C-alpha cells in the first residue's frame, strides 16, 4: 500500500459508530464527590432504569464497596478497574481496561445507563469520547472558588460541570456567584449546576440532565 495521499474512504470506520446504552463519564479532582454523585444517581434512577457502574479507584476497590454497602446496586453491576498509577491514562489515552469492563457489563445486563467514574485526578483529566458519550466534571466549593476560573479541559469542555458541596460555601469562604460567573465565562453554552448532595433531593439537577441525555440518545 504505497500512495501519496489517503482516499477519504480509507478513514471511514476509524471513529467508533456505537449504538447501545448511554455511557456517562464522571470525572474530577480527588474528594470532590464523584462517588457520592454516582451513588446518588443510582439511588435516583435504579428503580426505573437498568444501571451499571465501572469505578477507577486508584488504590482499592473502595469506591465499588461504597456503592455496594449503600445498597445501591447489586454486586454484579459494579466493576473496579486498576489503572497502574495513571487514572487519566485509563479514561483518555488508553481506554482498554475500562472498555473491557463496560462491554462485559453491557453484554451481561443490557443496561440503559453506564456510569464510568474516574479515579480522582486533576483539572486536566477528561474522558475520551471513545469510552463515553457524555461527561460530567465534578468540582467542589471547598477546593476554592477560583477553580472555575483556572479552567482546564474538565471545566471548559465537560458536557456538565457540577459544583458540589455548596452547603459548605460560607464555611470555606467560597463565593458562589463568582463560581457561577466564571463557569459561564469558561463554558459558553455548556451547562453548570451548583448542588449539595447532602440536601434532600440535592442530586435532582444532575438526574434531570441524565434523563435529557438518555432521551436524546435513544431518540
Partner 1 sequence: MTTHQIVPAALLTLADGRFPAGGHAHSGGVEVAVADGTVHDVASLYEFLHGRLHTTGLTQAALAAAAADAADPAGLDAHADARHPAAVQRRVSRAQGRAVLRAGRAAWPAPVLEALAVGCPDGPHHAVALGAVAAAAELSPGHAALAITYGTVTGPASAALRLLGLDPYGVHGVIARLGEDCERVAAQAAACICEPWADLPAATGPLSDLAAIRHEHWEVRLFAS
Interface residues toward partner 1, by CB under 8 A = 13-14, 58-60, 81-86, 89-90, 93-97, 99-100
Q: How far is the CB of 14 from partner 1 (least distance, A)?
A: 7
Beta-bridged to residue 55, according to DSSP, are 80, 117
Closer by beta carbon to partner 1, 131 or else 195: 131
Helix (H) or strand (E) holding 22: strand 22-27
Closer by beta carbon to partner 1, 57 or else 159: 57
Closer by beta carbon to partner 1, 108 or else 146: 108
The SS3 call for residue 93 is coil
Rounded Cα distance between 116 and 195, Å, is 20
Q: How far is the CB of 215 from partner 1 (least distance, A)?
A: 31
Identify which of 65, 74, 19 has the alpha carbon closest to the alpha carbon of residue 42: 74
Q: How far is the CB of 164 from partner 1 (least distance, A)?
A: 27
Rounded Cα distance between 91 and 119, Å, is 9
Q: How far is the CB of 209 from partner 1 (least distance, A)?
A: 29
Amino acid at each position: 500500500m504505497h500512495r501519496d495521499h489517503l482516499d477519504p474512504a480509507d478513514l471511514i470506520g476509524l471513529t467508533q459508530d456505537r449504538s447501545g446504552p448511554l455511557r456517562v463519564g464522571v470525572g474530577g479532582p480527588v474528594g470532590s464527590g464523584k462517588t457520592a454523585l454516582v451513588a446518588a444517581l443510582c439511588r435516583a434512577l435504579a428503580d426505573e432504569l437498568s444501571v451499571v457502574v465501572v469505578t477507577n479507584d486508584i488504590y482499592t476497590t473502595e469506591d465499588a464497596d461504597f456503592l455496594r454497602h449503600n445498597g445501591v446496586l447489586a454486586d454484579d453491576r459494579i466493576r473496579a478497574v486498576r489503572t497502574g498509577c495513571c487514572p487519566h491514562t485509563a479514561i483518555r489515552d488508553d481506554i482498554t481496561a475500562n472498555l473491557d469492563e463496560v462491554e462485559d457489563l453491557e453484554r451481561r445486563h443490557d443496561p440503559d445507563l453506564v456510569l464510568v467514574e474516574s479515579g480522582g485526578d486533576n483539572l486536566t483529566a477528561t474522558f475520551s469520547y471513545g469510552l463515553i458519550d457524555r461527561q460530567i466534571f465534578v468540582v467542589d466549593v471547598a477546593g476554592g472558588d477560583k477553580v472555575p476560573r483556572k479552567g482546564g479541559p474538565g471545566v471548559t469542555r465537560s458536557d456538565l460541570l457540577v459544583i458540589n458541596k455548596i452547603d459548605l460555601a460560607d464555611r470555606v469562604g467560597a463565593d458562589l456567584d463568582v463560581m457561577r460567573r466564571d463557569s459561564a465565562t469558561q463554558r459558553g453554552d455548556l451547562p453548570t449546576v451548583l448542588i449539595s448532595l447532602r440536601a434532600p433531593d440535592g442530586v435532582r439537577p444532575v438526574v434531570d440532565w441524565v434523563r435529557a441525555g438518555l432521551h436524546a440518545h435513544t431518540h
